[in-house]
Every structure is written in structure tokens, then in C-alpha cells.
Amino acid sequence: MSHTRIFTAILITMVFYACQTGPKQGEVTKIDASNIDKFCLQHDVEVTKDGLLLKNPTSSITSQFNVQNFELTVKLKTTEGAEGVLIFDATDAASNADGYEVKINNSDYRIGKLQKTGSLSRIRNNFVRTATDNQWFTLGVNVAANHIKVVVNDKTVCEYDEPANVERAGDISGRVLREGRIVIRRSNGKGELLLGEMMIKPLTVEQTGQNNPATPDSLTKIVDRLNDQGFPLIDFHTHLKGGLTMDQAYTHAHQIGCNYGVAANCGLKFPVTNDSTLNAYFNGISKEPVFKAMQCEGREWVTLFSPQAVARFDYIFTDAMTWTDLKGHRMRLWIPEETFVENDQKFMDLLVSKIEAILSQEPVDIHANPTYLPAKLAADYDRLWTPERMDRVIKVLKDNDVALEINARFKIPSITFIQRAKAAGVKFSFGTNNGSNNDLGRMEYCLKAISEAGLTGADMFIPRPANEKKVMKAGLPAKITG
């Protein structure tokens, strides 16, 4: 046999065995401690009875094979404070400078990094807690053509279609779809990260399908930039009403590139009126990848619920659209026939005093629908919301650590009000307050406020951790506030 034939035979054999090290297309391969050496390189990883322990800040597992279109599910567990990343389409096993990055972080809100497990970091960020420390959870990544889907505990957390000829700036310039490696690594020095197993299925051409990405419009480009900056783009004020389902809500969130907080309407003559109905509502949405919120309606809500039931929610909010005037009229300001205005200046003074009473006495996190005026006064908004009245509301917000909602539906408060509140150090939240399944919009007014008021991520509200809930520290007022 000639030297050429011998070399060719050796080369074919090497290629054959190299191909055997990677999972086969169209088939599911399970990778765990029993066969990890066959498929992955390990750095500073310890084999334990429960799996592979990434104990130290430098610990990592890197596939020895490349994939481009695939379905991946990883079984993981974190202990308190541990953070990590799952990277796919990495081009370099050593530096992993390129590739998409999915966050692993189950810490409570305001603890550790803002982005939580399932976040497609700086592309479509997730700020909702989707898993819990010290409990096994599954993290899934599916890539087919240009479509990326991230799943946590069988719930879709992020979806993204990479545009054709995508260009990224700065240190994420390499965050584009390509054939590459899969990496799981620690990203901090707290706690421990445990890998139980990986299940991977490289997709065939037939399984991948086709997807024609839409060309990003001007709003999408703004959202992309905010995600790149890590800005917490969250609509904290949505409702499952008017036919809107939970699946529709977070599908819409994925499409526009934000997170949602979904709220129950809780109060006198509303769907949720006591602890029993409140707990039933919470239990029904507890596993959904959205913030869980309680909208406290009217002033009577403080007498209807216990602090323990209220504290189960990520945050609570209220507005000043329902209160009783000096003549005993219980007014709902959005209903003309229930709103009494004899003198606009006296009405405004009473409204501001009601806001002060509500926000100083009720243990709420967000002041929703702020500066709302009834229809008969709305045209005079700028005249009636004087600097002195603005400053009184801003002071009570700041003094009581209540965030000011920027409402996309009503386009309130004014940009002038927002600028004034920012200068005073008030935190902000975004909210739509949708009335049905077709008016969620794309938070256009909120995006305008970011630009014109110069808001940054540091200006934005994030829910309190469990042991810092206002309602558990302050309790509820003994009587209604207005």
C-alpha cells in the first residue's frame, strides 16, 4: 500500500472517530457524569453523587463538539448566591468570547445581578425569577435557523429572531448565530452550581425548518439598544382581561422585547375581594414567567386582605382614582357620572391631599395611573398640575419609597413631571393598564420618556426581596385612607 493510501486511510479513520464524539443529528444524546469525558472538556469540576459540581469561579464545562441547530435541556441546581451562564455558538473553547449567553441566577430581587435565569443576555433580557435556589430546575435552549427560544421549567422565557445580516456593537459583536460549542460556567464566587445532566438533539435540515425574520423597525431598534444596555424594560401593569390569556401576554412580551407583570384587580366589588380569592389567583399564576402583582383598588382594600396574603406577590400598586370627597361621594374618576367637580382648583387640592394620604399610609410599591384627571378636567392637565402640586406628590413618593408609574395607555404623567421626579431621585416603573387583549401596545410613551427625561436603568423600580416587603414591615392601616 502506498504512503498516500495509508495517509488517506488514517485520515478517514480519524475523521470517523472524531465524528463519533459528538451527538448524532436527529437523535437525543444524554450527557452526565458517566460519559462527560467523551463529550466535554472540564475545568475545575468535581464529580459528586448528585452530578457535576461547578464549585469555583473558574469552573466550566465545554463541549468538544459543535452544533448549529439543536434542542438542549440541562438539569441544574444552584445554592444561595450562585450565578452562571450557558453559552452557545461559542467559537473558542478557552475564552468563549463569542456566542449567545443565557443567564443562570435564581437569587431574589435586588440581590445579585438583575438578570435572572433564562435571560438571553443583552439580546432579550429576563428579570423575572423563574427558578429557586436549592431546587432542581431545567433550562432549555432551542435554535432552529434564526429562531432562538429559551425555556425554564417547561415555560418559554425568551424568544428571539436574529435578523438577517445582524450587526452588533462593542463587546457583543460576536453574539451571532453560527456553528459553535456549548459552554456552562460559573460567573461569580458565591454558592455552588450543580449540573445533573444534559440532553441534546442536533437538528436535521428537515427539523430546522425555515423562518424569514422581519426587518427591525425604529421601535425595535430602540428596544434592542435598551436590551444591550441591560435596561430593565418591564411593563409592570398588565391585566388578563378582555379575553387576554397568559400565553398571549408573554408571547406579546417576547415579540416586543420586554417583561410583563400581571396584576389581579383586588378590592371592593372587584374580582378578588378576600384572602381566599387572592390566594387562588396567586396559585393559578405562580409558575408563569411573569411578575405576579396585586392592584389594590379603592381605599377599602386595606380592610379586605391580610398582610401575609398580600406579601406573596412580587409587588403591589394602587392609584388615586377611587376615593370619597368631602360631601361623602365615593368617586371613581374614570366614570363621569360618579365624579363631582364644583371647583377645579378645590378639586385638585383635594386630589393631591388624597394622593398624599394614600401613598403615606398604604404599603404600596408603585403609584399607578399617576396624575390622572377626570374627563372634564383632562384638557387642562398642564394648567392644573402646577409645579407646587407636582412637588407635593413627588415628595410623598420619595419619602415613602414609592415608584412613579409612567403609564403608556394614558400617556401620564407629563414629561415635565417625570423630569422633575427624576431630579428628586424618585424611582419609575412602566405600565400599560390594558383593558383588553388588543391594546397592549409597545410601550411607546414609556420609550419616549426614557429618551426625553434621560432615564437610565438605575432610575427604574425592581421588586423588593421577600424579607423586605413593605406590607410585612408596616402592616396595613387600621382604617381606609380616603
The pLDDT of residue 36 is above 70:
yes
Q: Is 133 exposed, middle or buried (0-12, 13-18, 19+ CB in 10 A)?
A: middle
The pLDDT of residue 394 is above 90:
yes
Mean pLDDT in residue range 422-432: 98
DSSP state of 23: P
pLDDT in tens, 397-418: 999 999 999 999 999 999 999 9
The pLDDT of residue 97 is above 80:
no
Count of other CB atoms within 10 angstroms of residue 165: 7
The pLDDT of residue 268 is above 90:
yes
Count of other CB atoms within 10 angstroms of residue 157: 28
Residue whose cell numbers read 441534546: 200
- Choice among 9-23, 307-321, 366-380 with the minimum mean pLDDT: 9-23
> Residue 94's pLDDT is what?
59
* SS3 state of residue 70: strand
User: Which strands form 181-186's sheet, in the order they lie side by side?
Assistant: 40-43, 60-63, 181-186, 83-90, 100-105
Query: How big is the chain, counted in residues?
Result: 482
Is residue 384 within 8 A of residue 377, CB to CB? The reply is: yes
Q: How confident is the model at residue 206 (pLDDT cuts 50, 70, 90)?
A: confident
Which value, in Å, is the radius of gyration of the alpha carbons in the chain?
26
- Rounded CA separation 127/234 (Å): 8
Q: How confident is the model at residue 14 (pLDDT cuts 50, 70, 90)?
A: very low
> Residue 209's pLDDT is what?
77
Angle at 260 between CA 257 and CA 263, to 5 degrees: 165
The pLDDT of residue 9 is above 70:
no
pLDDT in tens, 43-92: 999 999 999 999 899 899 999 999 999 999 999 999 999 999 999 998 87
* Average model confidence (pLDDT) across the chain: 93
Mean pLDDT in residue range 150-170: 93
DSSP string, 264-286: EEEETTSSB-SHHHHHHHHHHHT
Mean pLDDT in residue range 141-151: 96
* 241 φ, ψ (degrees, to nearest 5): -140, 165
> Residue 234's pLDDT is what?
98
Which H helix or E strand runs over 37? helix 36-39
The cell numbers describing 372, all together, are: 390622572
> Residue 439's pLDDT is what?
93
Q: How confident is the model at residue 16 (pLDDT cuts 50, 70, 90)?
A: very low
Q: What's the helix, strand, coil split of the chain in %, to 5?
A: 30, 25, 45
> Residue 212's pLDDT is what?
74
Instruction: Tell me, rounded to whole angstroms, the distance of Cα 423 from its chain centroid.
Output: 26
Q: Is the peptide bond before 413 cis (omega within 30 degrees of 0)?
A: yes
> Residue 18's pLDDT is what?
42
> Residue 96's pLDDT is what?
57
Mean pLDDT in residue range 304-311: 98
Contacts of 7 (CB under 8 A, 6+ apart): none
